[in-house]
Every structure is written in C-alpha cells, then in structure tokens.
C-alpha cells in the first residue's frame, strides 16, 4: 500500500495521555457503559486499530489531500499553502475529533462535521476541501482501503494457523486412529490425515479471500450519482476526469476504480468478502468441533494453562474452552454473510442511506470476529496434545470389527468355506457387540474367532491381522503429498505474522 494508505500508529510514551493500559486489554476503564466483547476481549490490537476512528478519519484527510493534489495537477487553481497545511494535519488529534463531534451534533452530518473541523485547523485548505466530491468519496474509499488492509492482516494471521496445522499433520502423518462417520466407528485413518481435512478447508477459504482482495477496486471520484458531472464541470475535459480517477486509485495502491457506480461503491464486493469470511468461520467451526469430540474420546486436547480453571464447581474438569469459543464466534461470523447480502439487495436506484448504520456494525464485526477466531485457532493448533495410548486403545477396541474381511480371507485361504465363515463371523460379531454394550466388556471378537475351529486361526495370527497400519490405505502418503504439493508452496509465498498476538482469555 502506498504512503497514502492507513495512517501510521502513534506510540505515546508510557504514562502519557493515550498510552495503552499496561493491564490486560479487556480491562474496562469505565464500568458503567457497554464494551463490545470483540474490542474488549477477543480481537487483536492490530485489527481493532484498523477499524478505529483515528484510522478512518485519517484516511478521509488523505483522500482529500490526494483529491486536491490531482485537481491542482489537472488545472484547478489550488494555492501551495492549502496543500502544505493539509499535509501537516493528516493525523487527526483527539481535540480535532472531539471538535468534529461537536459540529456533527449540530449538522447531523459526519462528513461535513469533519470538513469544518479540518478547515479550522488548516484554514488555507478549507475552501478547497471536498471540491467536486460527495460524502461517499471519503467514506466508501476509506472503507475499501481498510478492508483491503484487514484482508492482508487476516491472511498473515491465517498463515500461522496453516503452518501449525501442517506441522501437526507432518508429525502424526502415519499414526493410525479410528475413523468416524456419523460419529460411529468407521475405517481407520491417521491423525495427520484428519488434520489435512482441516487444512484443505482453510486453504480453500484463503484462496477465495485473496481472489476477492485482488478484485477490489477503489470507488474513486464519481460524484453524487456516479456520473462524474461535478468533476467534468470542474476540469472541463472528460479525459482529465478519467485521469483524476486513475491518480486517486494509484495513490492508495489500487490498480483502478470501479468503472460503474452510483453514489456509493458497489455493495456486492462486500458480500463476496463476507462470504469468504463465513467460509473461514465454517472451517474453524468444524476444526473446533472435531477437537471437542476427540477430547471427549480422550485422544486429543487443546492446550491448557498451568493455572487454568476448567470449572468453578468440578476441580478435575479440563473443558475445551478455546474450541468452544471458536465455535461460538464462528456462529456469529457465519450469520453476518446474509446481512451483507441484504445490504446489496436493498440498494435503491443510485443510493439509499439505510445501509450506513448497518455497515458501521457489520463490516468491523465480521473482520474482528474472523481475526479473533484465527488468533484462537493458531493457539490451539500450535498446542494440540495427542494421547497415543488412548488413540491406540480406541482403535484396538473397534479394530476386530474392521478386520472381519481380513479374517474371512485368511480363514478361507486355510481351506474354510467362505459363505459358512461369513455367517459365523456375522453371528460372532453381533455376540461380541452385545457383550461390549450390555456387559461393558472389552471387545471379545478375537477370542471368539480363535475359539471357533472353523477359522483355524490362533491368537498370534489374529494379532498379526490387527496391525492398524494395514487399514489406513494411502493416508500417510496422502498427507506427505498434500503437504509437499499444496501446503508448503502456499506457505512459501505467505509469511505468518511475526510476534503474533496471543488470546488473552
């Protein structure tokens, strides 16, 4: 992004006005007003800042500056002092933002309030601010810049998730485990192969998100109904109007602006973006749900802090609270996609204002929620604990049933009648299942088969048939191929965020 992009963060000295509270970031300085959980507890400082007033209003000022520069270069008589004063006031102070708030209470118009407040600080620039523009020139263009930067932040954060899951899959690529369909025992797979299911989903989401980001264009300078009539009057030449649009887009690092708009930027791209974020929510929900199920089977646990408390009543509890929070946040994120669809559907002719308050809520909430999910997801994926003994025990309890075809073939090879053996196995399997369910026994099928002379198989031969690695097919090879051919090339071109933030609660 060019220098005209998101305003740089200011870092006040410790103890200075505006310095970040050294206490936990979810601490509420004022306990008598609502604090949004996304900003108070869950989302990162980086994402919160992107959607902050100081960034938003700083972008408005940069948009006015680029408009003035382009208009001057294309023939509008704008004095150098106007540009110098505006350049000196690109980052709004708290006092200037407060002053704009006072003016807005009178005008009930946020953009006009900021124009007047800025004109008080940069009086030489005042007469030339917003020349030919409508409110959406600053509001919608600034939103697009922020969304583009937010996507970049999410992809960098997601790269950390991908790297953690890839490491997990590589480590456990050939560890046999019981598969589940309908959450009932099914053909074995490997612990690493299951992780690749999570990886494949997330990579698909990120591929679509990056494709939508690549298609993002700036709204540009389009005027009140998208016809550019005001700029044509100002510049007197259609080619200059097109050049004005091009220059503004280039100043903010975009390849161009939308060729056709009404007063606002098109709302469909926002729906497409939220559909991608919904996909991330869906993938995160499946991952977290799988971990919760496997935790109940005692095969897998999310990380658990040394002093972490699982329950206020039951001291022994180790609840998968991070994964539970992921699923909770994912439900919110998924639910925001149809909201964006209704915003796109509800546009009237060239513009309607009933999307404004909605977008102020939905766009930040969607990106802050996705950010919070990815923070949690990375922390869980990087600290997943596998319990090999329980993985092996759960597999061995069901493996005799999985091995019935192997037993059938081995017994037939020793001269048994295949059809008679099949019927005997069916009866013995049902008997074994009944004893497991009704008597709480360990699976007795192997003992029953070994005791039946029709099979001519002793316990040693049966044990050989029950090596879990015989039943996982190409799962280990699939993991290695997927990591080498898909995941590692993606990671090579996507750097995870350095010093990434950790969930605080």
* Distances, alpha carbon 121 to alpha carbons 92, 112, 429, 447, 497, in Å: 10, 14, 85, 89, 37
At 257 the three-state DSSP class reads strand
Distance of alpha carbon 162 from alpha carbon 150, whole angstroms: 18
DSSP secondary structure letters along 156-216: HHHHHHHHHHHHHHHHTTT-EEEEEETTEEEEEEEHHHHHHHHHHHHHHHHHHHHHHHHH-
| Closest listed residue to residue 322, CA positions, set 374, 278, 281, 390 | 374
CB 122 within 8 A of CB 88: yes
Number of CB atoms found within 10 A of residue 258's CB: 19
Q: Tell me the C-alpha distance between 293 and 327, whole Å.
A: 13
Inter-residue contact 317 to 310 (CB < 8 Å): yes
The closest of 417, 409, 407 to 463, measured between CA atoms, is: 407
Per the CB < 8 A criterion, the answer to whether 374 and 161 are in contact is: yes
- Degrees to nearest 5, angle at CA 64 with 340 and 371: 35
Spatial CA neighbour of 147 closest among 42, 56, 250: 56
State the CB neighbour count (10 A cutoff) for residue 28: 11
What is the full DSSP assignment across 80-109? HHHHHHHHTT-S--HHHHHHHHHHHHHH--
Alpha carbon distance 470, 455 (integer Å): 20
CA–CA dist 26, 329 (Å, integer): 17
Catalytic residues: 182, 311
Other Cβ atoms less than 10 A from the Cβ of 93: the count is 12
CA dist 377 to 202, 368, 373, 386, Å?
A: 11, 14, 6, 16
**Residue 350 burial (CB count, 10 A):** 13
């Amino acid at each position: 992004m060019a220098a005209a992009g998101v305003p740089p963060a200011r870092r006040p000295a410790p103890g200075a006005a505006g310095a970040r509270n050294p206490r936990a970031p979810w601490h509420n300085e004022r306990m008598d007003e609502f604090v949004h959980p996304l900003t108070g507890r869950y989302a990162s400082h980086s994402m919160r800042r992107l959607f902050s007033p100081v960034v938003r209003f700083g972008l408005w000022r940069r948009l006015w500056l680029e408009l003035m520069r382009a208009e001057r270069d294309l023939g509008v008589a704008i004095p150098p002092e106007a540009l110098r004063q505006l350049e000196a006031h690109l980052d709004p102070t708290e006092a200037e933002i407060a002053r704009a708030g006072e003016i807005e209470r009178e005008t009930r118009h946020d953009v006009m309030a900021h124009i007047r407040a800025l004109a008080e600080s940069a009086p030489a620039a005042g007469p030339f601010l917003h020349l030919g523009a409508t409110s959406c020139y600053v509001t919608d263009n600034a939103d697009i810049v922020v969304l583009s930067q937010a996507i970049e932040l999410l992809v960098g954060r997601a790269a950390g998730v991908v790297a953690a899951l890839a490491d997990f899959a590589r480590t456990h690529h050939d560890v046999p485990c019981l598969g589940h369909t309908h959450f009932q025992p099914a053909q074995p797979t490997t612990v690493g192969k299951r992780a690749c299911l999570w990886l494949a989903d997330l990579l698909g989401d990120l591929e679509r998100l990056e494709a939508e980001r690549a298609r993002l264009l700036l709204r540009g300078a389009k005027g009140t109904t998208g016809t550019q009539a005001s700029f044509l009057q100002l510049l007197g030449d259609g080619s200059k109007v097109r050049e004005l649009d091009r220059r503004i887009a280039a100043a903010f690092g975009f390849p161009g602006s939308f060729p056709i708009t009404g007063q606002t930027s098109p709302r469909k791209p926002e729906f497409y973006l939220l559909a991608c974020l919904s996909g991330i929510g869906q993938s995160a929900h499946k991952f977290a749900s799988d971990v919760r199920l496997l935790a109940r089977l005692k095969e897998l646990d999310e990380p658990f802090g040394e002093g972490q408390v699982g329950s206020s009543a039951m001291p022994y509890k180790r609840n998968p609270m991070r994964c539970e929070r992921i699923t909770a946040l994912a439900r919110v994120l998924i639910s925001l996609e149809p909201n964006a669809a209704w915003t796109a559907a509800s546009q009237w002719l060239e513009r309607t204002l009933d999307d404004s308050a909605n977008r102020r809520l939905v766009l930040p909430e969607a990106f802050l929620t996705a950010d919070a999910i990815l923070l949690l997801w990375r922390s869980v994926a990087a600290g997943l604990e596998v319990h090999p003994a329980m993985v092996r025990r759960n597999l061995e309890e069901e493996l005799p049933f999985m091995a019935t075809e192997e037993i059938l073939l081995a017994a037939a090879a020793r001269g048994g009648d295949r059809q008679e053996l099949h019927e005997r196995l069916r009866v013995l399997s049902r008997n074994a299942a009944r004893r497991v369910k009704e008597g709480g026994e360990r699976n007795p099928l192997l003992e029953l088969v070994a005791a039946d002379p029709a099979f001519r198989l002793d316990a040693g031969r049966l044990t050989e048939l029950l090596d879990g690695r015989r039943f996982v097919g190409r799962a280990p090879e699939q993991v290695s191929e997927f990591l080498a051919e898909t995941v590692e090339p993606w990671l090579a071109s996507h750097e995870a965020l350095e010093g990434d933030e950790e969930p605080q609660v």
